[in-house]
Structure 1
Amino acid sequence: MRVLAAMSGGVDSAVAAARAVDAGHDVVGVHLALSRAGGTLRTGSRGCCTIEDALDARRAADLLGIPFYVWDFSERFRDDVIEDFISEYRAGRTPNPCMRCNEKIKFAALLERALELGFDAVCTGHYATLVDGREGRELHRASDEAKDQSYVLGVLTAEQLAHTYFPLGTTPSKAVVRAEAAERGLTVAQKPDSHDICFIPDGDTRGWLAEKVGAEQGDVLDRDGAVVGRHEGAHAFTVGQRRGLQLGVPASDGKPRFVLEVRPVSNTVVVGPKDALATAEISGERHSWAGRAPADGTFDCHVQIRAHADPVPARAAVHGGSVTVVPEDPFDGVAPGQTAVLYDGTRVIGQFTIARTVSAVPLDA
């Protein structure tokens, strides 16, 4: 099998490429240049896809004895990930750029080019498992629940899964991967994992958004519409947030208040008690299915609304282009723009972007 190994410069993708070579595949390594800022440097474990990462990927490919290339996807990344991130925040939603990157870059743009060049599959260092079932390939959780990345891969379609290769899916822990990398002589064996948003390497998302979206002062309201404070820009807030609220009017019960809603049109932020974050229903229309699609109607499943959240038992309903989910117990602090991934046991059914939420606590409660 001809395999294109996406090599980020980290330990996971390097070991994944090495295992593809060991399996006897014809492997070519590629690093994606996602930024046109030539001086972009890595700071500790912040960011990825930097100059250092490209060099680390090349050294790993050289050690494995495979061809290596750097492909410039910066324009596509800017349009499909960065601009989407900005527009979502501008609309008062909370996007997940890693989901968009997997959907639009790694398993769309990269896979499309790989197939055009005659490759059979794209190999990555994601922790997830592929199972070939009677009705096609299925995406399942990884063996290591702590490292499982099936949530951020929930955007993959059946066609994309058919050309995907995850060599690390059954690995019991990240420690095993690091030990294997050291044994192979890979210099990235102890390289720290990247975190935060890769195109905001200093971690100052609030400041970055203020520069891109603009910061305009506005009111902070309680659930009754009374002004209880001021803010420096609604884009800096997300549902469930407690820190950074400059409230001049204390709550009548003396308890902390949390962001319940962001209203970009009126440039206001609504706050209230923690109980009001309980969400009884979510729905959305921007959905995809990882394998066979469920028929219109209702079905039981588990739903995960964040990368590291626990899955929640729920009842899902699919009607035409809309998906609605009612959890057995309310979700806690769901924001429009987040991604809900549906599971049947360990198998990923599909995902949708949350567009509407229904509070479990009525306004007059």
Structure 2
Amino acid sequence: MEPSVYVDCWQLIQRFGRAADESQDANFELFSQCWLEMQMQHIYSAQTNHVEVMETTMAALHVAKRVACGRKTNGDMFEAKRAQRIGGIYLLYAIYNKQPTKHFVKIEVSPRTWESLTSYVEQLRLQTGERRDTQQVSYIFWKLVQENAFLYTALDYCQALDALAAYDHLESIAIAKHQNNHTSALLKQQLKPSKVYLNEELNGLSDLASISKPLCQLQEAYNKQMVRHRSSFAATQIFSQLQDVFSEANDKLMGNKPPATTSEANDQLDVRKRVRQKAMFGEAIEAMSTDDEESEQPSPKPITLHERRMSSATVFEAKLPEDVLKNLQS
């Protein structure tokens, strides 16, 4: 909800800034007109509890004081125009007096923010003290101080353990979530079966052997330092073993191993077939499959289904002995 409040308040200040540039006057009446045009009077509509009202108020006040100090909602500096900074002070006054829980949520300001606000108001009075909009800004700021609207804190926002109330980071979190969604969608697209992406991953794996060389050097230096303690600590070989594994994988990926011939491929398929048959049907079917070509040997008697690996589908295939059936019937 807070990012939406950020957008509405930012658009209000931007509209007021454009209107003030056209009229060459940043008075409060023009701000009120922009407020009504954007229907900001309904900012608290359809909110069901006090927590939502407080969150909306705190988010709007955060945007207002940040812009009034010439900063973005995440605290970064930017070249704000005179009308924009004045609009931020107007927004502080409007939101503070518009909130349904009046004088409950205060404007939290850190020492840096308070110094920035007061110095800017003083700067306006010194430079353009005769202008009507400057007098309005001075009065509004003085009014907020008299109403005890400011709460002096170490930070400009409530800091919670779950970072949900860190308004300086709220916008960046929303942007990060959008980037993560875009990244996840891109990853899903890349994880589709594709020879191009597979080749790229294999090329990346081929670099592991060269990366492990500095680690092997570190391993040798460590073993030299531990020679005096060899009776208690054996020499480590973990990095050299990893390098051997990476080198072997690299050889296979780069095609250093000669390709298997057609006969070798067929032999491998036959071996896999025999292994599957042995796992499912036992030694009898394996012997029968290996001796198919020798027709002079008698073929073994095929096993029945219940002699296979037991499961709920095959355990009741064989008939029970007669004596067992008689006992069950009696």
TM-score of the superposed pair, with normalisation by structure 1: 0.22
1 or 2, which has the higher strand percentage?
A: 1
- The alignment's TM-score, normalised by the length of structure 2, stands at 0.24
Instruction: Indicate the structure with greater helix content.
Output: 2
